[in-house]
């Protein structure tokens, strides 16, 4: 009876952590995307800039946060493995709350760029939330829990621009920063009082080597882990490469009387909506049959959706294909997290997810740049063909790493 009570208590704590951290990653995702609709307009208020200069400053201000996140995430991951994920969650949420609130008071664009860089430096909430859930969830149930976390991040990034536009219309651009900062401070309070973690600091890693400066050399599945990092980056590259020209592409094929702006908003939201719907379900399926098999299906689906998108001439067909891209993301993202969890000792979980976050941030920077370059050389449709090629190469590499998985992982 005591054992059952203890088990129920542990499950209750895990469920509470999952709810709080879902809200946390939702607000964090929103915090990174809420300013996108008006960021160039806000920068325009901070000085007299030509159109070309404004475009460059907007790009730098947008990208600098992701670049800094890519650089600093592994360091935060190392600290999380040593001192616990909860302290890193508190650091990230409070740091971002302060920095984003300060963006409301900038007087020139350089102050804004510095604060965006600091926002990236204080990042790591999503990777540490994922790591905490991964370490507290039985590995045979990790896919579903990690799928739920994916829906929080995705829905935050999806709804962020919409909420940012609504809030800025009602309370001004500066008010949006203050409100977002306040929401992140609420996340800080919730994590402080509601999230529990029984972390035992350890300097030991696989192989019983103490304070090893190169712990990755002891991991049995190094190539597979690197493959998952690359897959995360490729997904982000493919998803964001269309961003610079989506409005232009929609305008090109829009032969209806419906506003192009409205259609772009709907089409941009569809992948996120389908990911939110499908990710927990595919995560649960991965727990049942093995994440690697669901991931293989995701690669195949993504490839066969990208190809016809390059030749689409109907808005309705484009909507369907973008919705299917979200389904492919839902088959892949929870499985990547599950495979990272199953292939990593618990004392290195945060570092592994931090590296995964770094690769995702790099994809967020590379994708739009690649999309703009490809569009200039081969046209808008070339972006989808290029994305399909990236997916195919990534799929072939993934198949070569499957043999590194040990029998237990293959059956998990």
What is the arithmetic mean of pLDDT over 20-46?
85
Q: How would residue 143 be classed by pLDDT, with cut points 50, 70 and 90?
A: confident
115 and 165 inside one domain: yes
Pairing of strands 204-205, 209-210: antiparallel
392 and 345 inside one domain: yes
Contact 74, 187 (CB under 8 A): no
244 and 174 inside one domain: no
Distance CA 24, CA 396 (A): 35
Q: Look over the chain and give the mean of its residue pLDDT values, rounded to a whole number.
A: 85
Contact 383, 242 (CB under 8 A): yes
**H runs (alpha helix) in 195-259:** 222-240, 246-253
Q: Which range, 10-14, 154-158, 166-170, 381-385, is most confident?
A: 381-385
Q: What does DSSP assign to residue 49? A: -
2 and 144 inside one domain: yes
The structure's pTM equals 0.80
Q: Which two tokens stand for residue 406?
A: 């040990």
In a domain, 202, yes or no: no
pLDDT at res. 384: 95
| Position 7 pLDDT exceeds 70 | no
Least reliable range by pLDDT among 82-86, 148-152, 347-351, 405-409: 405-409
In the block, which residue shows the tokens 């409005």? 247
DSSP one-letter string for 150-187? HHHHHHHHHHHHHHHHHHHHHHHHHHHHHHHHHHHHHH
CB within 8 Å of 276: residues ≥ 6 apart: 151, 154, 155, 158
CB within 8 Å of 288: residues ≥ 6 apart: none
pLDDT at res. 1: 47
305 and 366 inside one domain: yes
In the block, which residue shows the tokens 């370490």? 135
243 and 316 inside one domain: yes
| Position 165 pLDDT exceeds 90 | no
Q: Which range, 44-48, 218-222, 381-385, is most confident?
A: 381-385
Q: Which two tokens stand for residue 101?
A: 């609130």
169 and 264 inside one domain: no
Point out which residues pair with 204 in neighbouring strands. 210
Point out which residues pair with 205 in neighbouring strands. 209
CATH, residue 85? 1.20.1250.20
269 and 123 inside one domain: no
Closest CA to 302 of 225, 228, 224, 238: 238
Closest CA to 386 of 372, 399, 400: 372
Distance CA 122, CA 117 (A): 9
Count Cβ atoms below 10 Å from residue 302 Cβ, excluding itself.
26
| Position 154 pLDDT exceeds 70 | yes
Contact 131, 353 (CB under 8 A): yes
Contact 255, 245 (CB under 8 A): no
pLDDT digits over 342-371, tens only?
A: 888 877 888 888 899 899 889 988 988 888
Top pLDDT among 64 and 264 is at 64
CA atoms within 13 A on the CB side of 231: 30
pLDDT at res. 201: 59
302 and 387 inside one domain: yes
Contact 24, 125 (CB under 8 A): yes
Distance CA 236, CA 152 (A): 16
Domain extent, residue 251, equals 217-412
In a domain, 229, yes or no: yes
What is the arithmetic mean of pLDDT over 266-292?
88
| Position 213 pLDDT exceeds 60 | no
357 and 259 inside one domain: yes
Least reliable range by pLDDT among 46-50, 240-244, 271-275: 240-244
In a domain, 84, yes or no: yes
Q: Which two tokens stand for residue 357?
A: 């976050």
Q: Which two tokens stand for residue 281?
A: 């379900």
In a domain, 319, yes or no: yes
159 and 262 inside one domain: no
Point out which residues pair with 209 in neighbouring strands. 205
Distance CA 97, CA 74 (A): 21
In a domain, 201, yes or no: no
362 and 269 inside one domain: yes
Total of domains in the chain: 2
């Amino acid at each position: 009876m005591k054992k059952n009570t203890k088990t129920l208590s542990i499950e209750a704590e895990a469920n509470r952590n999952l709810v709080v951290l879902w809200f946390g990653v939702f607000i964090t995702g929103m915090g990174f995307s809420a300013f996108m609709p008006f960021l160039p307009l806000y920068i325009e208020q901070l000085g007299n800039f030509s159109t070309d200069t404004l475009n460059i400053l907007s790009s730098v201000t947008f990208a600098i946060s992701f670049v800094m996140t890519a650089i600093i995430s592994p360091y935060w991951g190392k600290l999380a493995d040593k001192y616990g994920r909860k302290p890193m969650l508190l650091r990230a949420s409070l740091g971002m709350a302060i920095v984003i609130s300060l963006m409301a008071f900038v007087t020139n664009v350089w102050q804004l760029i510095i604060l965006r860089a600091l926002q990236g430096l204080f990042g790591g909430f999503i990777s540490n939330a994922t790591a905490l859930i991964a370490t507290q969830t039985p590995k045979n149930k990790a896919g579903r829990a990690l799928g739920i976390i994916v829906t929080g991040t995705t829905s935050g990034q999806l709804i962020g621009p919409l909420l940012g536009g609504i809030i800025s219309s009602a309370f001004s651009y500066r008010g949006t920063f203050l409100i977002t900062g306040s929401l992140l401070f609420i996340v800080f309070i919730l994590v402080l009082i509601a999230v529990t973690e029984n972390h035992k600091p350890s300097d030991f890693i696989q192989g019983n080597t103490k304070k090893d400066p190169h712990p990755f050399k002891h991991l049995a599945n190094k190539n597979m882990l690197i493959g998952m990092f690359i897959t995360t980056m490729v997904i982000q590259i493919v998803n964001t490469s269309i961003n610079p020209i989506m409005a232009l592409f929609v305008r090109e094929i829009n032969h209806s009387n419906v506003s192009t702006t409205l259609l772009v908003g709907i089409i941009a939201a569809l992948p996120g909506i389908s990911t939110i719907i499908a990710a927990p379900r595919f995560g649960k399926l991965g727990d049942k049959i093995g994440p690697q098999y669901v991931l293989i299906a995701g690669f195949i689906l993504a490839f066969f959706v990208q190809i016809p998108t390059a030749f689409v001439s109907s808005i309705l067909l484009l909507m369907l294909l973008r919705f299917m891209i979200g389904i492919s993301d839902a088959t892949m993202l929870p499985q990547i997290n599950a495979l990272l969890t199953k292939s990593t000792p618990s004392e290195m979980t945060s570092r592994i997810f931090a590296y995964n976050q770094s690769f995702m941030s790099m994809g967020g920077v590379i994708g739009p740049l690649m999309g703009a370059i490809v569009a200039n050389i081969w046209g808008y449709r070339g972006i989808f063909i290029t994305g399909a090629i990236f997916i195919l190469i990534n799929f072939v590499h993934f198949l070569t790493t499957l043999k590194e998985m040990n029998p237990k992982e293959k059956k998990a």
